[in-house]
Structure 1
């Protein structure tokens, strides 16, 4: 972690800044394609290019979650690359985020970051790690614990692997079956990603339908 020089920000690492400095950079035209995170006076702007492995994994995981929830009649609403902000305290922009369950209040649809000062954080958050696996397991994991996310999945895109955590009481532990999507084995998500390396989306989805039905 480094101390910020706002005239020459180092991206893809955690940088020590105030909230006001963070907000200045969020609106800076040079970083409009970046993904922003903020936790305990540290900011991370991710500017690395998104390749096909990252995009494919993102697509497959979203398909698995949405198909499972649909077939099991679980109420769900998903967001892709959306910012969630706790003003003056924290921010995240995960690859995928889902609000799940009958008692969940969905955020309003607009072009502003989702305000989670009064609204709950997403139920499930997914990060696709192409080159940031250590960060996703470390500082981001602490961020999602603090925000109150219920479940956090890290997709290791390079190794086609997945690590899933249940978050409760401010801490987290690895799980083999989703708690927010009861009955969904994490191994099924991993196999769907493996199949996507040689099969098209239709083939993978038909396999999933057979597993879930």
Structure 2
């Protein structure tokens, strides 16, 4: 769930306004407060843990910060992904990192994951186009409630993980459901099924 605030601001104004607590994004100049629910956060935590284990196993210079912003070029937009993998080797050339935890270069962001909530159109439309333009090599959309439109996840709708990856600056997509093992160009040895990820967001009492 999210709440949009009506005032239009620049990205610099957004950074000056942004409080330390809470999670906020800027969508074409409009401040949006992100308010994820419990099962959404369980999936976030599960994925962050699995991906962290994988890049540590491979001894890659990556981190997953608690909150970081991706500044979209030539737009008054900045996104705070549910899970963002940052390449620490590139942070020395990021002019906004030290003061605002903001990345402006695609080389700093090997992977972004968004877990779909009620504002699914942001993940499948605006963010998809913007991450592609920015040059994020790999972008996951984890639609555990099958909220996305049929044009994106098919008919009948069912829980789906869409993994977009850049080929000659354009996104191609593979989709995974049920017992399908995910295929990640960034982490080709990652051993996860779609159902394992969906299960992470379900109460143990169910």
TM over 0.5: yes
Shift of residue 158, structure 1, vs aligned partner: 2.5
Gaps of 5+ in 2: 147-158, 175-181
- State the partner residue of 2:26: 37
Q: CA RMSD in A?
A: 3.4
- State the partner residue of 1:54: 40
- State the partner residue of 1:125: 112
- State the partner residue of 1:204: none
Distance 2:186 2:145 in 1: 26
Give the 4+ runs in structure 1 shifted more than 6 A. Answer: 29-32
Q: TM-score, normalised by structure 2?
A: 0.69
Distance 2:111 2:34 in 1: 24
CA contact 2:11–2:78 (8 Å) conserved in 1: no
1:151-190 equivalences under 5 Å are 151-159=138-146, 161-175=160-174, 176-184=182-190, 188-190=192-194
Between Structure 1 and Structure 2, whose CA radius of gyration is higher?
Answer: 1
Q: TM-score, normalised by structure 1?
A: 0.67
1:84 aligns to what SS in structure 2? strand
Distance 1:87 1:138 in 2: 17
> How many matched pairs?
178
CA contact 2:43–2:198 (8 Å) conserved in 1: no
Shift of residue 29, structure 1, vs aligned partner: 6.4
1:79-158 equivalences under 5 Å are 79-85=65-71, 89=75, 90-99=77-86, 105-107=89-91, 110-116=98-104, 120-158=107-145
